């Protein structure tokens, strides 16, 4: 086998369709587009979802659901993260400065995950029932958040 003898296998290559080149080609006159209609003409495209004037499916179906833009800015904090903090009074600003929660966080909630041995006081930070019990068992307290 030499480089000058290489060629594709039988049936691997197809001749390009040459439309509109006379009656003898089998694709003359209408060039395989049939007669009349949108698809027979040049530029006969339509918008995605267009159903010929019928109310499109995406507009027939009812709108449903809601995606909260603030949900991703409500952060969970583990008890083990509170254990590592050098301060006793913990609020949202303290958590942001320590890098426990992102700077754009709107609220934080402590969850029961890990152990807490030191006394901490939570202010303006929520806590689950289990986390609250664990904080109080360690001698700390959780200040109630005023409902906005």
Q: pLDDT by residue (tens digit) across 10-34?
A: 999 999 999 999 999 999 999 999 9
Distance CA 91, CA 125 (A): 6
The two three-digit tokens of residue 47, written as one number? 């918008």
Indicate if 122 and 77 belong to the same structural domain.
yes
The pLDDT of residue 110? 94
> Given pLDDT bands bounded at 50, 70 and 90, which one contains residue 146?
low
Q: Which of 118, 24, 27, 40 is nearest to 79 (CA)?
A: 118
Would the pLDDT of 147 be above 60?
no
Is residue 147, in this structure, part of any structural domain at all? no
Q: Which of 66, 145, 67 is nearest to 106 (CA)?
A: 145
3-state secondary structure of 44: coil
Indicate if 49 and 77 belong to the same structural domain.
no
Q: Is pTM beyond 0.75 here?
A: no
Indicate if 78 and 49 belong to the same structural domain.
no
Indicate if 78 and 125 belong to the same structural domain.
yes
Strand-pairing partners, residue 76, are: 109
Is residue 96, in this structure, part of any structural domain at all? yes
The pLDDT of residue 144? 76
Mean pLDDT of 78-100: 93
Please report, for the domain that includes residue 85, its CATH number.
3.100.10.10
Indicate if 49 and 78 belong to the same structural domain.
no
Is residue 117, in this structure, part of any structural domain at all? yes
Domain count, the chain: 2
Is residue 11, in this structure, part of any structural domain at all? no
Indicate if 77 and 138 belong to the same structural domain.
yes
Is residue 95, in this structure, part of any structural domain at all? yes
Indicate if 100 and 42 belong to the same structural domain.
no
Distance CA 71, CA 56 (A): 32
Structural domain boundaries enclosing 31? 17-53
């Amino acid at each position: 086998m030499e480089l000058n003898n290489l060629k594709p296998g039988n049936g691997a290559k197809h001749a390009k369709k040459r439309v509109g080149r006379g009656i003898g080609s089998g694709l003359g006159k209408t060039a395989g587009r049939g007669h009349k209609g949108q698809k027979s003409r040049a530029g006969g495209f339509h918008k995605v979802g267009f159903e010929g004037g019928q109310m499109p499916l995406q507009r027939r179906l009812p709108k449903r659901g809601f995606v909260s833009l603030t949900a991703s800015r409500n952060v969970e904090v583990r008890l083990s993260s509170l254990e590592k903090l050098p301060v006793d009074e913990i609020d949202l600003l303290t958590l942001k400065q320590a890098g426990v929660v992102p700077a754009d966080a709107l609220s934080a909630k402590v969850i029961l995950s890990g152990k807490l041995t030191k006394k901490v006081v939570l202010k303006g930070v929520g806590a689950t029932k289990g986390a609250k019990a664990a904080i109080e068992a360690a001698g700390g307290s959780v200040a109630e958040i005023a409902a906005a």
